[in-house]
């Protein structure tokens, strides 16, 4: 599962909207917590998937080298 442009924008747009729509005084720890949680929940599985792909490719390369 790759991080597509659409997924990236789906994460970035709400953040930009929140930053522009809320006056600085109204941004409190709760809102920041929600934003951070959303980023982590969205990005972390993609990050794990990317690591999984890299290790999988690494394993395939090792096997090819072992065969030759």
Distance of CA 9 to CAs 16, 42, 50, Å? 10, 12, 18
Mean of pLDDT values over 13-41: 74
Tell me the domain boundaries of the chain: 5-67
Percent of the residues in the chain that have a pLDDT greater than 90, as a whole number: 0
Instruction: Give residue 63's pLDDT.
Output: 85
Contact 11, 38 (CB under 8 A): yes
Its sign, for the CA torsion 30, 31, 35, 36, is: negative
Contact 7, 41 (CB under 8 A): no
Mean of pLDDT values over 48-61: 82
How many helices (H) and strands (E) would you count in the chain? Answer: 2, 0
pLDDT above 60: residue 1:
no
């Amino acid at each position: 599962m790759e991080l597509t442009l659409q997924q990236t924008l789906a994460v970035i747009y709400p953040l930009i909207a929140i930053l522009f729509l809320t006056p600085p005084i109204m941004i409190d720890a709760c809102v920041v917590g929600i934003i951070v949680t959303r980023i982590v929940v969205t990005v972390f599985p993609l990050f794990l998937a990317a690591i999984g792909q890299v290790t999988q490719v690494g394993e395939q390369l090792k096997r090819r080298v072992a065969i030759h």
